[in-house]
Amino acid sequence: MSQIDSEAPVLTKAEKKSVRIRWFLVGFLVLGGVVNYLDRSTLSVANTTIAQEFGLDAFQMGLLLSAFSWPYAIANLPAGFLVDKFGPKKMFAFAAGAWSLVSMVTAAANSFGFLYAARVALGIAESPFFTSALKVNERWFNKSERALPVSLVNTGSQIANAIAPPLLTFLLLTMSWRGMFIIVGAFGIVIALVWLRIYRDPTLKEQSMIKGAEAETRVVATVEQVAWGQLFKHRNTWFMVLGAFGIFYTVWVYLTWLPSYLQTARGFSLADSGWLASLPFLCGIIGVVFGGWLSSRLVQRGVGTVRARKIPIVGGALLAAASVLPVAYVDNTALAVALLSVGYFASQVPIGCLWTLASDIAPSNQVASLGAIQNFGGFMGRPSHPSSPVRSSQRRTATTPSSSSSAACSSWSARCRTDCSSRNVRPRP
């Protein structure tokens, strides 16, 4: 329920009902996140098929799988600024339309160079999505309740990760990989058109009802335009960047390595590995929601806002490290999948809180910018991983680098987040 300031304007029943649109918007952003991640997961699912068709070796496939991340990471920096400048309605619609067109054009690829260029373009096109979602949540929710809707939006990516292996494998087997890219791209066009139709910013009365005194503080704070570069002068910004690096590295190991690991190291077929790979991602959905719920619950119990974000972030990162490391030394397949599932659950507990933290400590007109800088740091961790499929036929040599490096990065993330302070990012006099 929204917290209403005692001096907030009295709204009619119809006006109070209009505020409920925010949960509909959250639901639609979840759907947008599903489509967003289905688009970026297509190559991961089809990588062995495409490699065979184009005669690509493991090194070339590793380049293709990493081609998305560097452009996406770099494009996040201007994307966050543009979201703050033009708003989430225009930027989300533009992004969804652009990434969908890129996906459909990829179906016409006839060379390694074409595929690589398409992945670069996809990374750039998708960069405004999560910052747009963060901006929507910052405008429609107050601090005490914001962690849960932000986490719910992030379940979209986890739902996609869970359904992508079986769904995209089905499309791949029935329509070829080219048909799979076209169908997934068409979904995004629909998302863009519907978003333009349904989204609106809250009115001043609705802001007062949602945020109370916080709304008045935000209005005053937005009078002064803060220079974008000022964000890099604050210690919290760097702790957020470094912490995101560790968490996102671990997530990237799952996204790019898990399907091939199940086929190569555990001996499952393409069809069977698609369903089995979805289990950790289903646990990830629960992890994202749990992290947001726990953070909101802590705030409601009087815990400081930043501390309430740090507890799920640090706890999740440490549990992820403890769960992933033993996988390299486990021979039992069921136990290995169970550890991977717990590890992915834990790695997703911090995700919603990472994004919410940006809206907690940044000025209102730079929420998307700070979130984008943090996301940039996270995606610097993704291409740092050797993302090609498992290169060794020996299970232990194939899994040890991935599981050990993931555990190390999760631990590093926990260490950085403990140093993040409650001091807000504000312009210096």
- Tell me the chain's radius of gyration from C-alpha atoms: 21
Distances 187 to 30, 152, 163, 181 between C-alpha atoms, Å: 14, 20, 15, 10
Helices (H), 199-269: 204-211, 213-221, 235-264
Q: What is the pLDDT of residues 161-191, one digit of tens each?
A: 778 888 999 999 999 999 999 999 999 999 9
Exposure on the CB side of residue 213, measured as CA atoms within 13 A = 3
**Whether residue 382 has pLDDT greater than 90:** no
Q: What does the pLDDT read at residue 122?
A: 96
| 367 vs 242, more confident | 367
Kindly report the pTM of this predicted structure.
0.77
Q: How far apart are the C-alpha atoms of 21 and 365, rounded to whole Å?
A: 22
**Whether residue 387 has pLDDT greater than 60:** no
Neighbours of 189 (CB within 10 A): 17
| 133 vs 347, more confident | 133
Residue 78: closest CA among 27, 41, 31, 128: 128
Token representation of residue 258: 């898990």
**Whether residue 115 has pLDDT greater than 80:** yes
**Whether residue 415 has pLDDT greater than 50:** no
Least confident of 195-199, 244-248, 272-276, 327-331: 272-276
| 268 vs 8, more confident | 268
| 268 vs 244, more confident | 244
H or E element in which residue 265 lies: none
| 117 vs 12, more confident | 117
Q: What does the pLDDT read at residue 142?
A: 86
Q: If you ran DSSP here, which 8-state letter would residue 323 be given?
A: H
Q: How far apart are the C-alpha atoms of 331 and 57, rounded to whole Å?
A: 28
Q: What is the pLDDT of residues 311-363, one digit of tens each?
A: 888 888 888 878 877 777 777 778 878 888 898 898 889 888 888 888 888 88
H or E element in which residue 45 lies: helix 21-54
Residue 350: closest CA among 69, 79, 158: 158
| 147 vs 4, more confident | 147
Q: How far apart are the C-alpha atoms of 48 and 231, rounded to whole Å?
A: 42
Residue 291: closest CA among 311, 321, 305: 311
The residue behind tokens 């992290």 is 291
Q: What is the mean pLDDT of the chain?
A: 79
Q: What is the pLDDT of residues 191-242, one digit of tens each?
A: 999 999 999 999 888 888 887 655 555 544 444 545 667 777 777 788 788 7
Q: What does the pLDDT read at residue 93?
A: 96
Residue 285: closest CA among 130, 159, 166: 159
User: Could you tell me which residues come within 8 angstroms of residue 249 by beta carbon, excluding any fewer than 6 positions away?
Assistant: 381, 382, 384, 385, 405, 406, 409
Q: How far apart are the C-alpha atoms of 283 and 260, rounded to whole Å?
A: 19
The residue behind tokens 């963060």 is 134
- What is the pLDDT averaged over residues 257-285? 71
Q: What does the pLDDT read at residue 289?
A: 92
CB-based contact 65:44 (threshold 8 Å):
yes
| Cα 257 versus chain centre, distance | 18
| 140 vs 272, more confident | 140
Residue 53: closest CA among 111, 120, 117, 122: 111
Q: How far apart are the C-alpha atoms of 115 and 98, rounded to whole Å?
A: 16
| Cα 106 versus chain centre, distance | 23
Q: What is the pLDDT of residues 13-58, one digit of tens each?
A: 666 667 788 999 999 999 999 999 999 889 988 888 999 999 988 8
Q: What is the pLDDT of residues 61-83, one digit of tens each?
A: 888 888 888 898 899 989 999 99
Least confident of 332-336, 394-398, 420-424, 425-429: 394-398
- What is the pLDDT averaged over residues 272-295? 83
Least confident of 72-81, 84-93, 210-219, 286-295: 210-219
Q: What does the angle CA 218 – CA 1 – CA 91 come to, to the nearest 5 degrees?
A: 50
**Whether residue 11 has pLDDT greater than 60:** no
**Whether residue 1 has pLDDT greater than 60:** no
- Cα first-last separation, the chain: 37
| 420 vs 162, more confident | 162
Burial state string for 355-382 with b = 16 or more CB within 10 A and e = fewer than 16: bbbbbbbbbbbbbbbbbbbbbbbbbbbb
Q: How far apart are the C-alpha atoms of 219 and 162, rounded to whole Å?
A: 40
